[in-house]
Amino acid sequence: MLSESELQALLAARHPDPFSVLGLHADADGKLWLRALLPGAAGVMVLEAGTRKVVASLPHREGGFFEAPMGRRRKKFEYRFQVRWDDGHEGCHADAYAFGPQLEEQDLTLLARGEHPRPYTQLGAHPMEQGGEHPVAGVRFAVWAPNARRVSVVGTFNNWDGRRHVMRLRHGAGIWEIFIPHMQPGDLYKFEIVGPGGNLLPPKADPYARASQLRPETASIVAAPLREPQALSAERVTANRRDAAISIYEVHAASWRKPEGRFPTWDELAAELPAYAAAMGFTHLELMPISEHPFDGSWGYQTLGLFAPSARFGPPEGFARFVAACHERGLGLLLDWVPAHFPSDAFGIAQFDGTHLYDYADPREGFHRDWNTLIYNFGRNEVRQFLIGNALYWTERWGVDGLRVDAVASMLYRDYSRPAGEWVPNSQGGRENFEAISLMQRMNERLGLESPGAITLAEESTSFPGVSRPTSAGGLGFHYKWNMGWMNDTLRYMHEEPIHRQWHHDKMTFGLVYAFSENFVLPISHDEVVHGKGSMLNKMPGDGDPNEWQKFANLRAYYGFMWGHPGKKLLFMGQEFAQRDEWSHERRLSWELLEDERHAGVQRLVRDLNSIYRELPALHRLDCEPAGFEWLQQEDRLQSVFAWLRRDDVGGEVIVICNFTPVPRPDYRLGVPAGARAWRERLNTDSAHYGGSNVGNLEGTLKVEKKAANGRPQSISVSLPPLATLILVPA
């Protein structure tokens, strides 16, 4: 019989190794004993697994502990428990303590080193069958908690009783594991953890959970088995290349067309969003974070369920259908991904095993002052494995086209948003976070190796060198970088009254000084239309009737400038039809504005800009190459006119001209390159079709004349509309 001390340790859930005493075990004489801890059970019979014949009755000893010798049996056998519970319910089930170690030694070794390429295949909850001749379905659980004294799986299946399913510790890796028979997808669970000091921690959600409850509930949910890897098609790989037309529609899924009083489902979004974005000519959708998060107001940027598509939109399977709907419409899908920080909610990974397991222990490194969040310990191998594995999970298992990585600047610098004396220098005394830099390099390398064709985009707001340079050349390895400087400069210029713009001319030209130092995306993102910044329309000068036409004209001209400028494009939802109000995550976009022709006209313009951006190789093939751009007019400050040439790699050319004053210029002389004999207007943001005054060059071609202008021997005479952008192509 089990010693009294070991029994009391089991009943108090402080036994160091329940697997060594529960289940079938031989004593010193070779006699088999069967022991079970089933609090709440009134009686337990032992059955043979195959025949279901009764082998023995287990006497109740104390506190739900049952044990008995197995007669003359000397060999272990497969068995089941027939349990009669105190409430009268009866059931037959397999014993979790009848199953041996779960993870292979090779996987444990890699996990312990932080080198497992796919940790999500081992850690977390995985439905499967186990057993010998009579296998049983259940769920294998594994969790990293190296400093814990005890870890149990708790849930509705065991009345949240931490004594019932205490896990086995695989000491070398600090990983706890157990196979629990009869659990299945949809079951709720958490981990009950006793910390190194013997204190019971708040029940913890699974860091590797692939499904979670809808907030404010916080339990993890057993998800369906992992999807098979989803390779990108050749078409999708081509569409992600730096010589492709990339125009991104950024969306907050919950509020795009938010139904009254609830969140949209993935299937509702799949039925409308991809079709709309494709009809608008966008090449990619970018979703603000859709991994599970506790607080709606964080917009997903404070996530505690990196592996779980948010329950706000229904079961994870719906997300798979959404991805397929995007690809069926010819759209790439990008996800915002947040490896910089995480919230400190007690049910999450903060103090996960009673220690600073996932974050830096020193608050000068581990606490984010701006967001009151915790910063991942980028130097710890197991944490790096967690983050890099998560990036691969989304691209490989869900088939998304890429990840836009949030808050990269906050990761790169140890003194980010910290005053002097409140940050820890690196090993060389500097401010760069070498661990975070290495993490991003390894993440990009891993995706390049395991998910060829998938792309990463960095939201990086500083001049850190080589963000989109390959790691082999010392860069971070991202494919693209958001051009925050271009966005800030050009929006400041557009905010000026036209009469003052001559004094701010350089804000529109400065971006070309560094435009080809990175592979840039020009972003007009959600960050530009929240927190009192106003909508894009309301950033533009021209208050009230009869001057409101200037707001629309300015916005249309700016969009023309943006689409004609080198760099990939990104526009946040609602700005394609000149949303008037600042964006709020709590309400849907103001789609009713499209009943107003001025708003409908802006929408038609964005659709046409996307169309010609894709149609004309000169506007995208060399987006990231200096050979694709040449100034034609950059010095006309007094009239606030800009003009440039865009080229492709096979001789195609396009001219872009912007007039950022409300003054029409009917005979503007512009020097042009030799070659084309005439040019014609391909797009005019002042067209009546878009809500403009219809000034322009729609009646005929613009012949190249042998009249010198702007240092060129030949030129054209152009009628420049007020507050407008023209795109010209060879006639």
Cis previous bond, 546, omega within 30: yes
Q: How far is CA 266 from CA 309, 400, 410, 456, in A?
A: 10, 15, 32, 24
pLDDT of residue 556: 98
Asked if 406 is an active-site residue, the reply is: yes
pLDDT band at 612 (very low <50, low <70, confident <90, very high): very high
Q: Is the pLDDT of residue 288 over 80?
A: yes
Provide φ and ψ at 667, rounded to 5°: -140, 65
CATH of the domain at 47: 2.60.40.10
pLDDT digits (tens, 9 = 90+) for 389-422: 999 999 999 999 999 999 999 999 999 999 999 9
pLDDT of residue 270: 98
pLDDT of residue 432: 96
Any domain includes 516: no
User: Are both 241 and 212 inside the same structural domain?
Assistant: no
pLDDT digits (tens, 9 = 90+) for 160-188: 999 999 999 998 899 999 999 999 999 99
Contact residues for 721 (Cβ-Cβ < 8 A; gap 6+): 659, 664, 684, 685, 686, 692, 693, 695, 696
Contact residues for 617 (Cβ-Cβ < 8 A; gap 6+): 648, 649, 650, 652
User: Are both 653 and 725 inside the same structural domain?
Assistant: yes
Please say whether the beta carbons of 343 and 302 come within 8 A.
yes
Q: Is the pLDDT of residue 617 over 90?
A: yes
User: Are both 257 and 180 inside the same structural domain?
Assistant: no
d(CA 301, CA 409): 15
User: Are both 288 and 326 inside the same structural domain?
Assistant: yes
d(CA 552, CA 538): 9
Please say whether the beta carbons of 325 and 270 come within 8 A.
yes
pLDDT of residue 480: 98
CATH of the domain at 644: 2.60.40.1180
Q: Rounded mean pLDDT of 620-633?
A: 97
Q: What would the two tokens of residue 445 be?
A: 């390398």
User: Are both 126 and 244 inside the same structural domain?
Assistant: no
Burial code (b: 16+ CB inside 10 Å, e: under 16) for 462-476 equals eebebbbbbbeeebb
pLDDT of residue 32: 94
pLDDT of residue 543: 74
Q: What would the two tokens of residue 187 be?
A: 């079951």
Burial class (CB in 10 A: 0-12, 13-18, 19+), 342: buried
Please spell the DSSP secondary structure of 350-377, one letter per residue: TTTTSS-SSB-SSHHHHEETTTTEEEB-
pLDDT band at 30 (very low <50, low <70, confident <90, very high): confident
d(CA 586, CA 153): 36
pLDDT digits (tens, 9 = 90+) for 421-468: 999 999 999 999 999 999 999 999 999 999 999 999 999 999 999 999
For residue 30, is it left (φ>0), alpha (ψ between -120 and 50) or beta? Answer: left
Domain boundary among 200, 221, 242: 221
Asked if 459 is an active-site residue, the reply is: yes
Q: Is the pLDDT of residue 545 over 80?
A: no
Please say whether the beta carbons of 286 and 293 come within 8 A.
no
Provide φ and ψ at 603, rounded to 5°: -60, -45
Burial class (CB in 10 A: 0-12, 13-18, 19+), 352: buried
Any domain includes 602: no
Q: Is the pLDDT of residue 221 over 90?
A: yes
Active site residue: 250, 359, 459, 681, which one?
459
Q: Is the pLDDT of residue 72 over 90?
A: no
Active site residue: 107, 161, 336, 406, which one?
406
CATH of the domain at 266: 3.20.20.80
Strands 305-309 and 653-659 turn out to be: unpaired
Q: What would the two tokens of residue 17 be?
A: 């190794």
Q: Is the pLDDT of residue 546 over 80?
A: no
Q: What would the two tokens of residue 128 be?
A: 């499967």
User: Are both 249 and 209 inside the same structural domain?
Assistant: no
pLDDT of residue 171: 87
What's the predicted TM-score (pTM) here?
A: 0.94
- The helix/strand/coil state of 634 is strand
Q: Where are the alpha helices (DSSP H) in 232-290?
A: 234-239, 266-279
**Residue range of the domain that includes 121:** 105-221
d(CA 548, CA 257): 27
Domain boundary among 443, 461, 482: 482
Q: Rounded mean pLDDT of 682-706?
A: 93
User: Are both 94 and 111 inside the same structural domain?
Assistant: no
pLDDT of residue 3: 93
User: Are both 272 and 386 inside the same structural domain?
Assistant: yes
Closest CA to 553 of 722, 728, 682, 718: 722
Any domain includes 477: yes
Any domain includes 569: no
Q: Is the pLDDT of residue 506 over 90?
A: yes
Q: Which amino acid would we find at residue 222?
A: V
pLDDT of residue 26: 92
Q: Is the pLDDT of residue 139 over 80?
A: yes
Largest CA distance in the chain: 111
Any domain includes 534: no
Please say whether the beta carbons of 686 and 556 come within 8 A.
yes
pLDDT of residue 235: 96
d(CA 506, CA 634): 9
Any domain includes 497: no
Per the structure, the count of domains in the chain is 4
User: Are both 420 and 457 inside the same structural domain?
Assistant: yes
d(CA 411, CA 538): 33
Question: Across the strands, what pairs with 69?
Answer: 33
Q: Rounded mean pLDDT of 199-210?
A: 98
- The helix/strand/coil state of 436 is helix
Contact residues for 641 (Cβ-Cβ < 8 A; gap 6+): 633, 657, 658, 659, 660, 665, 668, 720
Domain boundary among 64, 98, 132: 98
User: Are both 110 and 88 inside the same structural domain?
Assistant: no
- The helix/strand/coil state of 622 is coil
Any domain includes 539: no
Contact residues for 696 (Cβ-Cβ < 8 A; gap 6+): 681, 684, 686, 687, 719, 721, 724, 726
Q: Rounded mean pLDDT of 299-309?
A: 96
Contact residues for 694 (Cβ-Cβ < 8 A; gap 6+): 686, 687, 688
d(CA 507, CA 114): 46
Q: What mean pLDDT value characterizes the chain?
A: 96
Q: What would the two tokens of residue 63 be?
A: 């506190």
Contact residues for 53 (Cβ-Cβ < 8 A; gap 6+): 47
pLDDT band at 697 (very low <50, low <70, confident <90, very high): very high
pLDDT of residue 474: 95
Contact residues for 98 (Cβ-Cβ < 8 A; gap 6+): 23, 24, 78, 79
- The helix/strand/coil state of 141 is strand
Burial class (CB in 10 A: 0-12, 13-18, 19+), 147: middle
User: Are both 288 and 192 inside the same structural domain?
Assistant: no
Any domain includes 491: no
User: Are both 34 and 126 inside the same structural domain?
Assistant: no
The H or E element containing residue 347 is: none
